[in-house]
Amino acid sequence: MRPQFRVAVALLYSGVAIATTTPKVVDTKQDVTYVGLERNGIEVFLNIPYGQGTGGANRFKPPKPYVAAAGSTIEAKSYGPSCPQQLGDWAAPISLGNVTDVSEDCLNLNVARPKGACAGDQLPVMVYIHGGSFWAGDNHDPTILPDGMILESEKNGLPIIHVALNYRLGFFGFAQSDALESEGSENAGLRDQRLAIEWVRDNIGNFGGDGNKITIFGQSSGGLSIGMQIMAYGGSKPVPFQQGICQSQALEPGITGNFTIDAMRLLANHVGCNTTDLHSAETVACLRDFDTQTLLSASLDTYAADIAHNIGDIWLPVVDGDFLPAAPSQLIRDHRFADVTTMIGWCDEDVTIFTDTAITTPADTSAFISSYVPGVTPANIEHLLSLYPVSDFTANPALTPLSSEFFRAARIFRDILMTCQPMWYGEHIAAAGNDVYLYNWNQTILDPVLESITNVTGFGPIHTSEFAYIFGNLSHYDINGYPFNPAPEDYELRDRGSRSWSTFASVGKPGLEGRDTFQGIGKAFPSGGDEVYVFVAGGPHEGLSAIDGPGSTEVLRKQKLRERCEFINSPEIIEQLGY
């Protein structure tokens, strides 16, 4: 990125407007004007409210739409507040943001479009749902800024509009109790997302988008959010989108477990609200009486993020009989989900960054995995471990201090969370008659950054490795003095990776002949057989590969996904994983 472009990104992230023109959008039906700004050759409209404040009496409740007054002007030139979370930075290089302003009045979104786009252009729309363990994050972290993606889509000849949304997090977005269920107030964060997508459907035409051509996409808990939106209401209601991309998650163990109710109990006890019954209406009323900061502090004080607490994913969606009418696995088996074209994928070493680097022995691996999935019986843990012999994971001491057992544990962890469950979900989406594409992201610029932070090398393509490429700008990571030396192949993957994502939004397939996109990509589950195909994105062996058999490449074949995932996705293990 040019130096002045980096300065623009840094200043804009801090909320300072850098404008050369003043784009305006007029909603003639509602008589509302949006005034945005130009940056980096695109136009953005920031902090557009889609929902009312969620504090006080509205806390935990389904969001209420924000309706701007007729004749009003919304100055959409600086970012709005993030939803309540810890201030400061969080988990670099997975996130590079610095949260400075939080509020329960946080239901806002940002629209980015090609310069000169206008009503009637009918451009495809990509709606991004950020990750962060349902605990942190917002719609303007530097790693997910869409400027490069918009510009690459234009160069590709298939321009798109991008929208990024905030939604309630942690205790504020995923509080759980019988009383909340009875008033329809569980899964508030997911309901926020749904309202935002509906806002896009109903209003994006004013900005030049097509409200009937929406792709929702997200990574980590954002990917889980996409999975939940696809199965929302058991598929009984029309969805306000047509396609979805689940990046490094689509499901999660523990949704039907106790992580969230345990966290709820700790917090209620901490503030003195659990005097009668955690599930009572009195407890909910007590929690609604507190100010935001008191509850946020209590949430931070009672938070746990070790492997025994789901690496921090303790505030999870819940089966509430409404938004999630049954366990996700049951909804999937029954094909109670929307008919949408879907792309699902993971990073090659997705969770090495979350795996205990002290693991060196088989006992360490067994203890780590057993802590992660406490509902899986010892006998099944033993069988799971047997599917991953340490001989399959030979670490090179000349390249990394990490042990072979470390990589063994990380691969089991990855397959449970990031690979096998999403593949199973995708298989059912395809069986219902929808196109599904799978990918394995196999390139990263984050290794030297991680080395500078941890003094450890060899993590590989970790969680979020695709961000630098799909959002079209590697130089978002050229900050804080981190090592930054992308190779020519990184810039090449940036171009075709970003264009493949926006191409998917435009044509329903992440690649087109004659364009600088992924080539040779095909459906993951072609009809008439049991073959499974995964596109390896980046690295020295990019291309479509079967997971085994004659059409497989070494990079996929050595992962032994068929036998490993057949066990992880068996009914008994799904039940024990708790989703």
| Catalytic annotation, residues | 220
Residue 562 C-beta-side C-alpha neighbours within 13 Å: 12
Helix/strand/coil for 355: coil
Quick one: how far is CA 532 from the chain centroid?
Answer: 24
What order of strands is seen across the sheet that includes strand 161-165?
Answer: 37-39, 42-49, 108-114, 161-165, 123-129, 209-219, 243-247, 341-347, 436-441, 533-537, 543-546
Structure tokens at 448: 């030297």
Strands (E), 221-329: 243-247
Tally: H helices and E strands in the chain: 20, 14
User: How far apart (Å, rounded) are the C-alpha atoms in residues 382 and 389?
Assistant: 11
Characterize the bridge pairing of strands 161-165 and 123-129: parallel
Residue 385: partners with Cβ closer than 8 Å, 6 or more residues away: 362, 365, 366, 369, 412
- Cβ atoms of residues 428 and 335 within 8 Å: yes
Q: Rg for the chain (alpha carbons), in Å?
A: 23
User: How far apart (Å, rounded) are the C-alpha atoms in residues 93 and 70?
Assistant: 43
